[in-house]
Amino acid sequence: MTNADQRPCVAVLASGGGTNLQALIDAAQDPAFPARIGLVLTNMPGAYCLDRAKAAGIPGAVVDHRDYADRPTFEAAVDLTLRDYGAEFVCLAGFMRILTEGFVRAWHDRMLNIHPSLLPKYKGLHTHRRALEAGDDVHGCTVHLVRPELDDGPLILQAEVPVLPGDTEETLQQRVLSREHVIFPQALALVTAGRVEVSGSETRIDGEPGPLRLSWAGE
């Protein structure tokens, strides 16, 4: 398929509702954004992220992990699909599959993940509950480049939110999610515009030590 839009192609991998996907789609609709969303790939048939892709005129693909004998063969199918669509960058936007080292290495420094905590705190699941249980007064989210270890890799951008008296997992999750929608497109723009330099586990953004950190600016 020819595409008049010459910006680099980003594939978004999602497993669910895809509100982060929507934020990326909306940001990339501005022609000044340095990349385009050219594919939405999910492992979950019927996931709402596919409806979002369709509404935006973006191709959607399903690679159902249950159709594959093991992780490497599933990932080979994902990788083939990404390359078929000419993806140059990958965003993991709530993609709830652990990726093997081979796949991660193939997309080294070209794959971004959003995680709902201020990494390196609270890798893995239930981040909001864990922040509440720890009595933290600040929580947040992180966009980072993906490395083989879970929720690990050079940090690009973080946003802080306060933990407020009376917060539940749900209210805190919503506050963090609203900031995810801000930082994911910003981080993708930085990476695709070549403004992020990576050296080992460190980043420099426009020459300054990363990650950039946005503090809370209110709801």
Positions marked active-site: 115
Binding residues for ligand GAR, how many (CB under 6 A)?
A: 14
What is the spatial order of strands in the sheet that 155-162 belongs to? 60-62, 36-42, 9-14, 89-92, 111-115, 138-145, 155-162, 212-214
Closest approach of ligand GAR to the CB of residue 4, in Å: 28
Q: Which of 100, 53, 93, 51 is nearest to 79 (CA)?
A: 100
Q: What is the CA radius of gyration of the chain?
A: 17
> With binding defined as CB under 6 A, does residue 41 bind ligand GAR?
no
* Residue from 180, 189, 192, 203 binding ligand GAR (CB under 6 A): 180
Phi, psi for 19 (deg, rounded to 5): -70, -35
Burial of 100 (0-12, 13-18, 19+ CB in 10 A): middle
* Contacting ligand GAR within 181-210 (CB under 6 A): none
Q: Would you count residue 158 as binding ligand GAR (CB under 6 A)?
A: no
Q: Does 151 contact ligand GAR by CB under 6 A?
A: yes
Among 10, 11, 12, 18, binds ligand GAR (CB under 6 A): 18
- 117 and 152 Cβ atoms separated by less than 8 Å: no
The one segment of 12-20, 104-112, 164-172, 201-209 that binds ligand GAR by CB under 6 A: 12-20
| Shortest CB 25 distance to ligand GAR, Å | 11
Judged by CB under 6 A, which stretch of 30-38, 108-116, 159-167, 190-198 contacts ligand GAR? 108-116
Establish if 19 lies at the interface with ligand GAR (CB under 6 A): yes
Q: Shortest approach of ligand GAR to residue 14 CB, angstroms?
A: 6
Scan for tokens 């599959």, then name that residue.
97
Determine if 152 is a binding residue for ligand GAR (CB under 6 A). no
| CA–CA separation, 23 and 178 (whole Å) | 10
Among 177, 183, 187, 190, binds ligand GAR (CB under 6 A): 177
- 20 binding ligand GAR? (CB under 6 A): yes
